[in-house]
Structure 1
Amino acid sequence: MALALPAALLLGPMLAGIALALGGGTIRLGRVPYILAQAVVGCLIARAATPDVLPALARHWHLFSAVILAGIAASAAIGWQLSRLGIMPGTTGIWGTSPGGAAAMVVMADAWGADARLVAFMQYLRVLCVALAATLVARFAAPAAAVAQVQAAVVWFPGPTAGWAAAAGLILLGAVVGLGTRLSAGAMLAPMLAGAFLRLSGTVEIDLPPWLLAVSYAGIGWRVGLGFTRSVAAYAARTLPAILAAIGALIAFCGGLSWLLARATGMDALTAYLAASPGGMDSVAVIAAASPGVDFAFVMTMQTLRFFLVVLLAPPMARFLAGRAAKHSGPGRDSGTP
């Protein structure tokens, strides 16, 4: 957090877990804490769905849909190539290039049998690269200072609110689904879908105290980091050029989409760029808020819709593309986990 990095509360524990695992540590996070952490992430996603986004969504739904689906299709094509060429094992490349919801993608990839360690490596490298690119495009609008101001203003232990009760109920729902069913990523998806419906209907508010988010992020980070081995770390290092090229291609493609969006709507180029930017939503929000003249509501409506679509479309897309990649790579291609 002192460096004002996006997703610092997850990246820090993950890096600490990697260091411990590579040093020979054998500590592991239990299943129940991990299920609860997934449920909290589901609530966090649901909280992003607000009634305020509906008017803008109704006015521009066709543009939103075209730009978001084009970005998702591009990420899927890039991930498919990584898998088909054997650069990433199995569906790892497909999950790792999904443009949004890094924490959610790590959780879901783990639930669906992909290598969550490499998915996390790809996702958080994407978050950092996208944040840097958006910062440069925003003409050095000092997002790091804005992040620091936001962090300084955080009240880590606020008083209880009615939204806590709603969050507790959704977390309990996620725990029941996660522990009592075989539904992949059910602990995250159940509170996400139920909470989003309640939020959009204006029925409830969902409040998540910062300390709970910090603990949950730490749990997911530790789970991923402690699973690293020296062979996985070496594999990630070897594939770094290919991963950076994939991220660069995705950023460039979304930049092209933003140009088309600006031309079609007449909005300013920076608003269009941030709206089409492939995540993460938190860092884009900070940059948009710190940039004068940006239509913040439009940017966050686009980012929120993309976030939900990526989470909902990722599992069937990964299964389909993994099958296609396996057919093209042939039986001699190694698709196992390093």
Structure 2
Amino acid sequence: MPFPTRTIALWAALIAASALLGFGLKLAQFPAALLLGPMVAAIVFGVRGAPLRMPKPAFQAAQAMIGCMVAHAITAEITKTLIADGPLILLVVGVTVLAGALVGLILTRLRVLPGTTAAWGSSPGGAAAMVAMAEEYGSDPRLVAFMQYVRVAAVVLSASLVARLLTDSATAGPPPAAAEAATFLPVLVTLAVAAVGAGVALWLRLAAGALIGPMLLGAALHATGVASISLPLPILELAYATIGWYVGLRFTRETLRATLHALPGILVATLAVILLCAGWALGLTHLLAIDFLTAFLATSPGGLDSVAIIAVGSKVDVSFVLAVQTLRLFVVLITGPLLAKWIARAVPQEPA
């Protein structure tokens, strides 16, 4: 069934606006400009009621590409980082997860959001997985998505701004998967890794499987030298834009209207988590030989895919950032249901 003419026109307008914003941010030397531009444009279109949705298979394909990009950066150095600084990294991850749980508990006790919605919505990372699991456990997925993607948008904006202010753009390199000449065979192998990794992970019903599957499979093959991970820059840029559109178009007028009374609390909670993580990042610079931007990106409570895009476009210790973010994603996926149940039990239920 062909797209209606209006839908085609809206997509063309969104693509044009995204290109304009992305190009402008790139000229301003913002990291992840081609993620940030499409996301901002999509938020505007979504809130204004444009009947556009990014198909989930397209979003999963984009996640698979980002998984391969992350896999290219995951080397033996990440293992060394986890071994050398494991206890401290676990502490950082634990503090971030507990901060999200505390915010969820406070919002739930204050009845800013109904039931355990705040518990799922405040989990730091794994936005798509938290939305899916929240629906299975009876929470309102729209409100959870709203909280999660407000935080993702805030983290992307703040992390991009901090990276722009602290990064010497003249020394920031291209994404590692695009740094090599993208020859035909490595690209074909990479696309096969993306398809197989995502397919198996989704078949196993792993949370965030489209991202985690290619990342784990690609990292194992790349780090051991069995295969070379390589992606042309246009494919990566399309993946960036797709993720930006998927996130941005979730901000609809209806969702905003339904959660308007909760917006101040959500924004305060989001800012509080970001500032808390920034404080921990500052503390890490005194405990480890890392710069503030590396620590800030490592502790940022955003999605792994979004933070990875920003990290590889900035002058940071990508191995450390990805080690912390990857570990936290797994911790969040494991502890999310447990924390939500704990918050539900800790908050007195309203009488029927």
TM-score normalised to structure 2 length = 0.70
State how 1:118-267 maps to structure 2 within 5 Å: 118-132=147-161, 140-141=165-166, 143=167, 146=169, 159-160=182-183, 162-177=185-200, 180=203, 182-234=205-257, 238-258=261-281, 260-264=283-287, 267=289
**Cα distance in 1, alignment partners of residues 115 and 244 from structure 2:** 22
| SS in structure 1 of the partner of residue 76 of structure 2 | coil
Name structure 2 gaps, 5 residues minimum. 1-21, 136-140, 302-306
Contact 2:31-2:163 within 8 A present in 1 as well? no
2:324 alignment counterpart: 306
Cα distance 1:321–1:54, how it changes in 2: closer, same or farther (>3 A)?
A: closer
Contact 1:275-1:302 within 8 A present in 2 as well? no
Cα distance 1:205–1:72, how it changes in 2: closer, same or farther (>3 A)?
A: farther
Cα distance 1:308–1:230, how it changes in 2: closer, same or farther (>3 A)?
A: same
**Corresponding residue to 1:320 among 306, 318, 338:** 338
Name the Cα RMSD after superposition.
4.0
Contact 1:98-1:310 within 8 A present in 2 as well? no
1:63 alignment counterpart: 88
**Corresponding residue to 2:300 among 274, 278, 293:** 278
Q: Percent identity?
A: 29
Output the amino acid matched with 2:129: M
Shift of 1:244: 3.8
1:106 alignment counterpart: 127
**Cα distance in 2, alignment partners of residues 223 and 302 from structure 1:** 27
Name structure 1 gaps, 5 residues minimum. 290-295, 334-338
Shift of 1:125: 0.5
1:87 alignment counterpart: 112
TM-score normalised to structure 1 length = 0.72
Shift of 1:235: 5.0
Shift of 1:169: 1.6
Cα distance 1:263–1:156, how it changes in 2: closer, same or farther (>3 A)?
A: closer
**Cα distance in 2, alignment partners of residues 264 and 20 from structure 1:** 44
**Cα distance in 2, alignment partners of residues 233 and 96 from structure 1:** 15
Contact 1:276-1:303 within 8 A present in 2 as well? yes
Shift of 1:151: 7.2
Shift of 1:158: 6.1
Contact 1:117-1:225 within 8 A present in 2 as well? no
Contact 1:36-1:187 within 8 A present in 2 as well? yes
**Cα distance in 2, alignment partners of residues 262 and 18 from structure 1:** 34
1:116 alignment counterpart: 145
Cα distance 1:85–1:303, how it changes in 2: closer, same or farther (>3 A)?
A: farther
2:35 alignment counterpart: 10
Output the amino acid matched with 1:82: L
**Cα distance in 1, alignment partners of residues 33 and 121 from structure 2:** 19
Shift of 1:80: 4.0
Shift of 1:273: 4.7
Cα distance 1:117–1:15, how it changes in 2: closer, same or farther (>3 A)?
A: farther
**Cα distance in 2, alignment partners of residues 6 and 58 from structure 1:** 29
Shift of 1:305: 1.3
| SS in structure 2 of the partner of residue 322 of structure 1 | helix
Shift of 1:324: 2.1
Contact 1:67-1:276 within 8 A present in 2 as well? no
